[in-house]
Amino acid sequence: MNTTKQHLTFAMFLDRLDAAAQQDAAYGKLLSKGQLTFDSAAAVATTRMQETLKKSWSNSEADFLSGLLDYPKYLPPLGSETDTDVQQLIESAKTDHYAFAVLKLAAETLVADEHLPSLRDIKPLLDLGFVEAPRRPTGQHRYAKLHRDTLIAGELKRLVAAGFTPMRAKATQVKAKKRSACDVMVAALETVRTSLSYDAVEAIWLKREQLNWPVILDQALKHLAGVSPASEH
């Protein structure tokens, strides 16, 4: 994969990664003063979830993720695309919301390529909003759940770093005192009207290693480069 293009794609994630680092530092300061109480941890998590789970923001992030992960459905790997491929994508993007997300990413990543005049011509129109995304299919965004679960997994990791046990001990699951990181998250999500059961939040914790931006970024870049899991070995 062209190094410059890889850096351009990676740069799109820097604000997200920087924000996560700042949030981790904030938790560290709280931790240095002693373990957070359940109520204060729930309040912190609620504030953060209110911002990150806003519908408009979440859909925007999900569209960005769609552009990355759906790229192979509409274009060949970076460096092998032709202007005909781009023209077909532009046509699809008139009626296909997810194709439009790929088109926006391609316009940011490939616009400097001289052999893609169609992309170069449409980029100013995309930048100025003269070409609008078609209506997304009704129902939940294709990547909304992945986006939500990634945010929750990150928050759970911070709660554990702040001193909470990740999950309820098996022996106390039916007792009244439930003070695990997963319980904190359930309470926070209820406050922001995103209702998930304890079991659902625990399931997110158990697959936390796959639910983080660096892993998703790595997978997405391999998609763009046309690298299959088998070819890595």
Any idea where the domains of the chain sit in the sequence?
Answer: 9-69+142-225, 72-127
How many alpha carbons lie under 13 Å from residue 5 in its C-beta half-sphere?
19
Structure tokens at 223: 């998609």
pLDDT average, residue stretch 74-88: 90
> What is the model's pLDDT at position 109?
82
CA distance 5 to 160: 36
> What is the model's pLDDT at position 39?
83
CA distance 201 to 112: 43
Listed residue (89, 34, 66) closest to 223, CA to CA: 66
> What is the model's pLDDT at position 217?
73
Q: Which band of pLDDT confidence, cut at 50, 70 and 90, is reported for residue 6?
A: very low
> What is the model's pLDDT at position 159?
86
Instruction: Kindly tell me if the per-residue pLDDT of 187 is higher than 80.
Output: yes
What does the pLDDT look like over 190-216, one tens digit per residue?
988 888 999 999 999 999 988 877 777
**What residue spans of 111-233 are helical by DSSP H?**
117-127, 144-161, 181-191, 198-206, 213-225
Listed residue (21, 23, 13, 19) closest to 64, CA to CA: 13
Instruction: Kindly tell me if the per-residue pLDDT of 2 is higher than 60.
Output: no
